[in-house]
Structure 1
Amino acid sequence: MVETWLVEFLKGTGKFFLHPVLYYLVFLAGILGVMRVKRERKNFHIRAEDAYFELRQLFPMGLVIGLVLSIITVAVGITVPFAAILLIAGFTLIWSLTTNIRLMSPAYTLGAAFFGIILIAQNNWSIPFFSSIDDKVYPSLIVIQGLLLVAEGILIFKNGSKGSSPKLAKSKRGQIVGVHEVRRLWMVPLFLLIPGDALHLPFDWWPVFHLGAKEFSLFFVPFAIGFHQQIKGMLPKESIHLHGRRVIILGVLITLLSAAGYWYPLMSIGVAAFAVVGRELLALFAYLKDDSMTAYFSKKNNGLMIIGIIPGSPAGKMGLQVGEIISKVNGVLVRDEQTFYEALQKNRAHCKLEVFDTNGEIRFVQRALYEGDHHELGVLFVQDDRKFDDLKNVN
Structure 2
Amino acid sequence: MEAIGFEVLKALGRFFMHPLTYVFIITIFWFGLMRVKRERKDFHTRVEDVIQQLTSPLPAALITAVCISGAVLLLGLEMPVGMLVLWSLFWLILLPFRNARWLSMTAAGSLALLIAPFLPSGGTDFAFLNQWLGDVEQMNLLNAAWLLAILFLAETLLVLGDGWKQTSPAIVKSKRGKLVGEHIAQRLWFLPLFLIFPAGEISGGGWWPVVELTGGQTFGLVLFPFILGFQARIYGEYARDGVKRIGKHYLLLNLAVLACAAAAYYYPLFIFAVPAAVLIGKEVINYLYKSADQRRISMFTRREKGLKILGILPHSTAAKMELLVGEIIVKTNGREVNSQRDFYDALQQNPAYCKLEVKNLQGELRFTQSSVFEKDHYQIGCLFVPDDEYGNLSSRALRSSVVINQDRAELGESEERGSSSRAQEADFYEDSETETNSVREDEDTVSHEDEAAASVDHQNKGEEPDAGENKDKEPDPEAFYNETKRADESGESREQAPDLAAFYREFRETQKAETSMWEPESEEEETESEENKSNR
Q: Which residue pairs with 1:393 in the alignment?
A: none
TM-score, length of structure 1 as denominator length: 0.92
What's the TM-score once normalised by structure 2's chain length?
Answer: 0.69
Partner residue in 2 for 1:158: 161
Q: Name the CA distance, whole Å, in 2 between partners of 1:171 and 1:224.
A: 33
SS at structure 2 position matched to 1:102: coil
Please list the CA deviations of residues 121-174 of structure 1 after superposition, one character each: whole Å capped at 9, or x if unmatched.
Answer: xx4444322224457622111111111111111222222222111111111111
RMSD: 1.9
**Equivalent residue runs for 1:124-135 within 5 Å:** 124-126=121-123, 127-134=130-137
More helix by share: 2
In structure 2, the CA distance between the partners of 1:133 and 1:312, relative to structure 1 (3 Å rule), is closer
| 1:205 corresponding residue in structure 2 | 207
Correspondence for 1:172: 175
Q: Is the CA contact (8 Å cut-off) linking 1:304 and 1:381 kept in structure 2?
A: yes
Partner of 2:101: 102
Q: For residue 372 of structure 2, what is the aligned residue in structure 1?
A: 369
Name stretches of at least 5 consecutive residues in structure 2 with no aligned partner. 124-129, 393-536
> Secondary structure of 1:128's partner?
helix
Aligned to 1:392: none
Unaligned stretches of 5+ in structure 1?
390-395
Structure 1 or 2: more strand by fraction: 1
Contact 1:70 1:191 in 2 (8 A): yes
> Residue type matched to 2:182 in 1?
V
Q: Amino acid of the residue matched to residue 194 of structure 1?
A: F
Give the whole-Å Cα distance in 2 for the aligned partners of 1:79 and 1:262.
15
Letter in 1 for 2:345: E
The separation in 1 between residues aligned to 2:286 and 2:180, in whole angstroms, is 22
The answer to whether 1:195 aligns with 2:198 is yes
Q: Does 1:137 align with 2:150?
A: no
Q: Name 2:359's counterpart in structure 1.
A: 356
Check if 1:41 corresponds to 2:40: yes
Match of 1:328 in 2: 331
Cα contact 1:142–1:255 (8 A) shared by 2: no
1:313-324 pair list within 5 angstroms: 313-324=316-327
Do structure 1's residue 186 and structure 2's residue 152 form an aligned pair? no
Per the alignment, do residues 258 and 215 of structure 1 end up closer, same or farther by CA in structure 2, a change over 3 Å counting? same
- Cα distance between partner residues in 2 of 1:63 and 1:143: 20
Secondary structure of residue in 2 paired with 1:26: helix
Q: Distance in 1 between matches of 2:200 and 2:367?
A: 68
Give aligned pairs, total: 385
Verify the 8 A CA contact 1:304 1:336 in the aligned structure 2: yes
Give 1:302's aligned amino acid.
Answer: K
Matched letter for residue 263 of structure 1: Y
Contact 2:81 2:135 (8 Å CA) reproduced: no
Q: Give the structure 1 partner of residue 293 of structure 2.
A: 290
AA partner of residue 130 (structure 1) = L
Q: Which has the higher contact order (CA 8 A, sep 6+)?
A: 1
Residue 128 of structure 1 aligns to which amino acid in structure 2?
Answer: Q
Larger mean CA deviation between 315-324 and 187-196 belongs to: 187-196
Pair 1:304 & 2:307 matched? yes
Is 2:228 the partner of 1:225?
yes
**Alignment partner, residue 266 of structure 1:** 269
Kindly provide the amino acid, as one letter, of the partner of residue 239 in structure 1: G
**1:265 match: secondary structure:** coil
Residue 296 of structure 1 deviates from its aligned partner by 0.6
Give, as a single letter, the amino acid of the residue that structure 2 aligns with 1:204.
G
CA distance in 2, matches of 1:346, 1:163: 32
Q: Identity rate of aligned residues, in percent? A: 35
Confirm or deny: 8 A CA contact 2:83 2:135 kept in the other structure: no
Question: Conserved in 2, the CA contact under 8 Å of 1:150 and 1:249?
Answer: no
* Counterpart position of 1:71: 70
**Equivalent residue of 1:79, what SS?**
coil
